[in-house]
Amino acid sequence: MAVVLVQSWIIARRPDTAGVIAVNNPPADVQVATPGMSDDEPSRRREAADASDRPSTLPRADVAAAVRVQTATATAAVGDGKVRAGQGNRLLAFEDLRAARPPIATIAGPINIVTRAGPPRLSLVAVNGKTLEQSGAQINVLAHRSVYADREVIVGFSDCTDTTSACERKEPFWLLLRKSKPPVFKRSRGLRANQNAGAVTAVPSGVHVDLGLWDGVRQTATLTSLDDIYITRVKESPAPLSDADCRAVAAALESCAASRQCDGYQSVIRSVPAARMANVERLFHESTGLNAPMFRSVCVRSCELGLTPTSALVRREVCGGAAPAQWSQRPQGAS
């Protein structure tokens, strides 16, 4: 057995710096729907409506002008006071704001992002010249505007200027606007999208934000027509990593082999460059292809042998799919 193991490794040593994988715990302060759980009847009707009439999140360039015209018309319709109450959920227009230059005109006045000098330096959302203190973050970005018969909804994201364990994903927020009423800012702390997610879709039943995949679960957050935040969670099946992602894992294992501190996983990864460990952390949380227990085992064994595992071994044992329940049963520093 020892002979077979040694033949599966090749020598590789490189100087490295420290890096540690962080652990994230999902929030529990919002309504959640999971497969097998019963939803209330209105929620089921909303989900059925979503599947049939969901518009594209990003309008095509050839209809962008039409959307802007429709938006202006919709705003006037909201302002004339003649919309019947029963039509309040009717979606009149939507537009993507990522490329728009603030201020954004709305029924509640212009929306802007302002910066307050520190310390600490803060980015804040301002409505009609008044800043919303609860919106304070390192970065705020407006992403989407939806115009309904009785309201407008602005979706944005709060983010950080640096990558830390406390700020690793985008945090969505909703700004609910009604004519002659104060703006309502809604955010659920800990409810975040991964870096490749964040698509926004408006339908009559609410405004959906794709939060992407995190710890084996794909999530969508919705500000419903009842002004509640509703979360849908669907468990993803394990799937192998792509070739590019597996190469990033192999690079981290090369650094494990170059480490001189082999007294356990935490000791070994102190010698792994932070950028390489950040890639492993991202794949652990945002994919179902990294086998975390096997990565830890191979990392420590690489250090002990002073050898780097072959690409075939890494592809088969580490990149072939997540281990069962690896997110719910990981010990401290296991990711």
CA nearest neighbour of 245 among 210, 215, 211, 288: 288
Q: Average pLDDT over the chain, rounded to whole?
A: 77
CA nearest neighbour of 106 among 199, 183, 171, 200: 183
Q: What was the pLDDT predicted at 175? A: 96
pLDDT over 90 (residue 94): yes
- CA 274-312-283 angle, 5° bins: 35
Residue 311, both tokens: 């690409």
pLDDT band at 97 (very low <50, low <70, confident <90, very high): very high
Q: What was the pLDDT predicted at 77? A: 34
17/259 Cα distance (integer angstroms): 9
**Taking the domains of the chain in order of start, what are their residue ranges?**
2-25+238-318, 57-197
Residue 152, both tokens: 């407008």
Beta bridge partners of 157: 141, 172
Residue pair 255/248 in contact (Cβ under 8 Å)? The answer is: no
Angle between helices 243-258 and 274-286 (to 10 degrees): 140
Dump pLDDT digits (tens) for 10-40: 434 333 333 333 333 444 444 545 444 344 4
pLDDT band at 73 (very low <50, low <70, confident <90, very high): very low
CA nearest neighbour of 284 among 301, 271, 299: 299
26/233 Cα distance (integer angstroms): 12
Q: The dihedral of CA 280, 284, 287, 288: what is its sign?
A: positive
Task: Provide the percentage of residues in the chain whose pLDDT is more than 70.
Answer: 69
Mean pLDDT of the 248-274 span: 95
Lowest-pLDDT choice from 48-57, 102-111, 243-252: 48-57
Contacts with 147 (C-beta within 8 Å, 6 or more apart), sequence order: 71, 74, 75, 78, 91, 92, 93, 94
Q: What was the pLDDT predicted at 168? A: 57
Beta bridge partners of 127: 111, 130
CA nearest neighbour of 298 among 7, 53, 9: 9
**pTM of the predicted structure, to 2 decimals:** 0.67
Dump pLDDT digits (tens) for 293-321: 999 999 999 999 999 999 999 999 999 99
Residue pair 254/303 in contact (Cβ under 8 Å)? The answer is: no
Q: What is the largest CA-CA distance in the chain?
A: 83
Residue pair 228/46 in contact (Cβ under 8 Å)? The answer is: no
Find how far residue 52's CA is from the centre of its chain. Answer: 25
Q: The dihedral of CA 103, 105, 107, 109: what is its sign?
A: positive
Q: How far is CA 125 from CA 90, 141, 170, 269, in A?
A: 26, 9, 16, 40
Dump pLDDT digits (tens) for 175-197: 999 998 999 999 887 788 888 88
DSSP state of 204: T
Residue 293, both tokens: 């227990």
